[in-house]
Amino acid sequence: MLCLLPFEIIDAIADMLPQHSVRSLSLVSTRLYAALFPPLHRTITFRARNEWALNIFDVHPFFRDHSGSRAGEILQHARQIRFSAPIHIARFHRCVYNSHFFLPASSHNRPTLGSPHESTAHQAFLNDLSYQIDQVFAGLETVSIRSFQYIHSLSLITDGTCPHAGRRLEGLSSLTALTDLEWEGIQHPFEMRTLCECLRQNHRRLKAVSIGLLLDPNVPTSHEDILKVFWPPRGQDDCTPGEREWFPSLTSLTFSRLPFPDSLLPGGQPSPFRALKALTIRDCPNEQRFLQLLARAKDPLSLQHFEICSDYLRDSEDRWASIAIVEFLLSFRGLRRLYLKVANFPRFLPGLGDAIKHHQATLHGLVFHERRLMPIDAERLFEDLRDVNMASPNIPQILRHSSPAALGLCLRPASARGLLLDIPERSTIRLLHLRLSGEERNHRHLRREIVPELRRDAEGGLWSRSRHGPTVAGFHLKPARKRSEAQDFLLLAQWAFGRTGLPALQILAFGDFSHDSRYREQQILIRRRRIGEQPYPRVSSDGEYRISSSFCLVESDDHSLWEGLPLDGTQFLSACPGTGLMESPYDL
């Protein structure tokens, strides 16, 4: 039947299907292939197959397999072209131009990249890339190249420590149709000027903006200008009301490592963020000034998502940052996702629990990650303590008045059960995430420790039952024996998914899920076993093993896990990361 539909209807159907489904559908018949040819090639990706040969993309095989005019026919339908290189192991904080490598025994008659013995190696590497990319662009029609000014989404990650940083970025101010802008690694003044020009040029269309700085403390910058861009310029009295609107469509805003100045605009001013629905502030010094400014604006915010990482070593008497968070949360209603990561929260500061309960009617997801930082010398170096008694809020008391579907806490598995026992039986928690802090924040082999415990469970004898719930066999007879954290986690899982645990719980996560799969070995994700699902051995990347009859091990890329949740499960697990997207070399 599909083959008989007009091409316009087939094209409309293709717009609603994922790319792999479009590809499968195009194989049904020659007519469908002809109809789906344009959407099939809207996105083209060229890849470097080997991370040690990043300058060798599969451009040549593309032109070889599509000889003659065929390659041009494909490229003229392209609306998105990607060049991808799989760097899995090597991570450079400096441009390879400044790195020193040993000269290999055989150079194969080519200069070695980064070799101090060959000054042209870096240029040869760039020339390889340039030649292959030029080949692709040569196949594009002139009209396609002109249409690049209508790019809607732009994502940049730049390394300001590279001596070639900032080259050829001036053209960003020529883009006039941006709706999504993400730029991480901004450092130099000319990069900030380029960013400000781009923001001004696209202020009417931008819906999502994410800005991350990488500042050298020894280099003066004008980062205050970035904040000033978000307030309308003066002298617009002769403009129409529509022209006077400044960032009218901005619904998502993220700041990372952006120092907020002391002299922000005074409170009571009209807010430029009236359409804002999501605000994320990560590792921004002096962030309390910005929060107070928003809290005291004439127009209250209508946020649905708020995330803040206020993770600095402060004096125990420094309460301004904590007070600003409380004041900000009390200034509006309707929050659905609240992700907090704070350090040294004052133990006798009331209000945070009330501020969270202020949004209890709408709150779906709550992360409270508290770190205790203890200074150890006069240079403000600190020790990160773990598993301290949380100063605030009183989580069990909050959960008696609200019903979040997802909860993230920084606790050891052994301590988590003691806290969760006070949660009422009608708990609606469906996703529970135990996060890491302290020295265990870089728990490198968490997965490797827990999976063998699951195998031991399959062999029998590890788990036993008592009237007090599941216990490790033998351990209740020898209380002096110290259990491993892996065993404590599995004890928690047995209780949480058991009859006396959390009745609504579907997913239990443990570890660091930030930045996709960067910390894969520090991630454990299990789900409740479905009714009727057989506890037979299952095959996974870790081998064949059986898991408890109440839960099983799963992968975070299984999208069916998040079905029915009122929030994005992947985003929830990665909230408030322990490290930045880019590691600053100035923090080392």
pLDDT tens for each residue of 125-148: 667 777 777 777 676 654 444 556
With beta carbons less than 8 A apart as the criterion, state whether 432 and 573 touch: no
Residue 26, token pair as written in the block? 């195009």
Q: What is the pLDDT of residue 93?
A: 39
pLDDT in tens, 227-238: 889 888 765 545
Do 571 and 433 sit in the same domain of this protein? yes
Do 465 and 565 sit in the same domain of this protein? yes
Nearest Cα to 308, choosing from 566, 509, 575?
575
For residue 224, the SS3 value is: helix
Q: What is the CA radius of gyration of the chain?
A: 27
13 assigned to some structural domain: yes
Alpha-carbon span 206 to 179, nearest angstrom: 4
369 assigned to some structural domain: yes
Instruction: Tally the domains of the chain.
Output: 4
With beta carbons less than 8 A apart as the criterion, state whether 264 and 227 touch: yes
Domain limit, last residue, from 404, 436, 455? 404
Alpha-carbon span 479 to 175, nearest angstrom: 67
- Residue 587: what residue type? D
Do 92 and 185 sit in the same domain of this protein? no
497 assigned to some structural domain: yes
Residue 237 CB neighbours (<10 A): 6
Do 389 and 433 sit in the same domain of this protein? no
Residues of the chain falling short of pLDDT 70: 1-2, 50-55, 86-123, 125-126, 137, 139-149, 160-168, 217-221, 234-244, 264-270, 313-318, 347-350, 375-393, 424, 438-444, 455-482, 532-548, 581-588
With beta carbons less than 8 A apart as the criterion, state whether 320 and 288 touch: yes
The answer to whether the peptide bond before residue 189 is cis (omega within 30 degrees of 0) is no
Q: What is the pLDDT of residue 6?
A: 79
- Residue 493: what residue type? A
- Residue 109: what residue type? N
Q: Facing residues of 48 across strands? A: 57
Do 271 and 163 sit in the same domain of this protein? no
Q: What is the pLDDT of residue 167?
A: 59
Do 431 and 547 sit in the same domain of this protein? yes
For residue 255, the SS3 value is: strand
With beta carbons less than 8 A apart as the criterion, state whether 372 and 384 touch: yes
Do 297 and 354 sit in the same domain of this protein? yes
Q: What is the pLDDT of residue 302?
A: 92
Do 21 and 135 sit in the same domain of this protein? yes
For residue 254, the SS3 value is: strand
Residue 141 CB neighbours (<10 A): 11
Chain Cα centroid distance, residue 99: 29
Nearest Cα to 433, choosing from 328, 325, 508, 376?
508
Read out DSSP for 259-292?
Answer: PPPS-PPPTTSPPS-TT--EEEEES-TTHHHHHH
For residue 181, the SS3 value is: strand
Residue 68 CB neighbours (<10 A): 8
Alpha-carbon span 506 to 528, nearest angstrom: 5
241 assigned to some structural domain: no
Domain limit, last residue, from 404, 429, 446? 404
Q: Which domain holds residue 72?
A: 2-102+110-142
Do 551 and 438 sit in the same domain of this protein? yes
Alpha-carbon span 296 to 560, nearest angstrom: 42
Do 388 and 482 sit in the same domain of this protein? no
DSSP state of 195: H
246 assigned to some structural domain: no
pTM here is 0.74
Buried b (16+ CB within 10 A) or exposed e, 376-386: eeeeeebebeb
Do 129 and 7 sit in the same domain of this protein? yes
Q: What is the pLDDT of residue 219?
A: 62
With beta carbons less than 8 A apart as the criterion, state whether 279 and 307 touch: yes
Domain limit, last residue, from 385, 404, 423? 404
255 assigned to some structural domain: no
Nearest Cα to 395, choosing from 344, 440, 439, 429?
429
Do 138 and 155 sit in the same domain of this protein? no
With beta carbons less than 8 A apart as the criterion, state whether 125 and 92 touch: no
**Helix 446-459 vs helix 485-496: angle between axes, to the nearest 10 degrees?**
60
Residues shown for the chain: 588
> Cα dist. 189→214, 222, 281 in Å?
12, 7, 22
